[in-house]
Structure 1
Amino acid sequence: MTIHPGFANTPEPPYYAVIFSSLRTSGDEGYAGTAKAMLELAARQPGFLGEDSARGEDGFGITVSYWQSLEAISNWKANSEHLAAQRLGKTRWYEHFELRIAKVEQTYGMSST
């Protein structure tokens, strides 16, 4: 299957998905730059497999990052630069968020091209 831009190119399962659902506060306050930097940093972490992300005009968004193992997720959560961004998220950027971790055991899809 062809991978389209914006879709993570993940391997065959099993692997893990970190599902981050959030409602943003109004204004940027450095959010866009930090989000870009965090994706670039995550991409350099051992075990990172990719990311899918979308945000509506109402501020609700979902980002799913894919990881090889629970250990890789734990190491990312503890990364010092990521910890600093998490603190800013809690104090500045999010009205509400929830994070879920799931094991991906099966995938399928389609493409018209």
Structure 2
Amino acid sequence: MAAFAETPDPPYYAVIFTRLASTDAAGYAEAADRMVELAARQPGFLGVESTSDDVGVGITVSYWETEDAIAAWKSDVEHTATRDTGRARWYDGYELRVARVERAYNWRR
């Protein structure tokens, strides 16, 4: 996965998922990879960026063309099952925020 998602000119949407990991990480990395693979097949998906630290805080930002595309992803059966497993095993908590991107800038060496 590239360091930065290649998004179009705004407007588009960002789903910001910030998680606090539990001590049970078994299977999490594989499930996260699968969710990126599955999301990439969804109509309206634009890209994803993700990072985590060594104390269990992770942030994943996925980008979408429309709110309808986000809603379709939220209701995907496999995504729903993985989200339920996350609540039961992998997370001590999370925050999810949806934002409309109005402006975007970049700089690269």
- Given residue 102 of structure 1, which amino acid in structure 2 is its aligned partner? A
Within the alignment, does 1:40 sit opposite 2:34 as a pair? no
- Higher mean C-alpha deviation, range 26-35 or range 67-76: 26-35
> Which residue of structure 2 aligns with residue 67 of structure 1?
64
After superposition, give the CA deviation of every residue in 1:8-37 in whole Å (9 maximum; x if it has no partner). 000000000000000001242210111111
Give the conservation status (yes or no) of the 8 Å contact 2:24–2:89: no
- Given residue 30 of structure 1, which amino acid in structure 2 is its aligned partner? G
Within the alignment, does 1:106 sit opposite 2:103 as a pair? yes
**4+ residue runs of structure 1 moved beyond 4 angstroms?**
none
TM-score, L = length of structure 2? 0.97
- Given residue 22 of structure 1, which amino acid in structure 2 is its aligned partner? R
* CA distance in structure 2 between the aligned counterparts of 1:87 and 1:96, rounded to whole angstroms: 12
**Percentage of identical aligned residues:** 52
User: Over aligned residues, Cα RMSD in angstroms?
Assistant: 1.1
Structure 2: gaps (5+ residues) = none
Within the alignment, does 1:49 sit opposite 2:69 as a pair? no
Q: How far apart are residue 71 of structure 1 and its match?
A: 0.1
> Which residue of structure 2 aligns with residue 85 of structure 1?
82
Name the count of aligned residue pairs: 109
Structure 1: gaps (5+ residues) = none
TM-score, L = length of structure 1? 0.93
- Given residue 58 of structure 2, which amino acid in structure 1 is its aligned partner? G
* CA distance in structure 1 between the aligned counterparts of 2:24 and 2:96, rounded to whole angstroms: 22
